[in-house]
Amino acid sequence: MRRRTPEPYLWLLFSGGGVVAALLLPVLVLLFGVLMPLGVLDWPSAAHLAALLDPVVVRLAVVAVVVLCLFHAAHRIRFTSEELLGVARFDLIIALLCYGGAVAGGVIAVVLLF
């Protein structure tokens, strides 16, 4: 019997995070990094942002975005560090650190939003 690896699931999280990051992060950078500091748009109030996060569905969507982006970053960091630094012999340690950090970030996001 062949032993199954979790690699396809990690690549799935990586690609999902890449799609989310490519679609949502440029809009957030444009809004909060360009238009609002330049005064083109007004900054939202704390009460308005709290009202946006009030529905459970919105909080779940924010957690999904955060978790997918964290796993995307973890996967990139893992393979980039192994290729560029030539530390592939420490693959298990690097994978545990990267994906453990992504899981920890996801738990922190859940705790902060719920």
State the CATH number of the domain containing residue 62.
1.20.1300.10
Give the domain range for residue 23.
Answer: 7-113
> 114 Cβ partners below 8 Å, 6+ apart?
59
Question: At residue 82, does pLDDT exceed 90?
Answer: no
50 domain residue, yes or no? yes
The structural domain count of the chain equals: 1
CB 87 within 8 A of CB 81: yes
**pTM of the full predicted structure?**
0.83
Q: How far apart are CA 102 and CA 94, in angstroms?
A: 12
1 domain residue, yes or no? no
66 domain residue, yes or no? yes
The single residue listed with the structure tokens 């990051």 is 21
Residue among 75, 63, 40 at smallest CA distance from 114: 63
Per-residue pLDDT tens for 51-63?
999 999 999 999 9
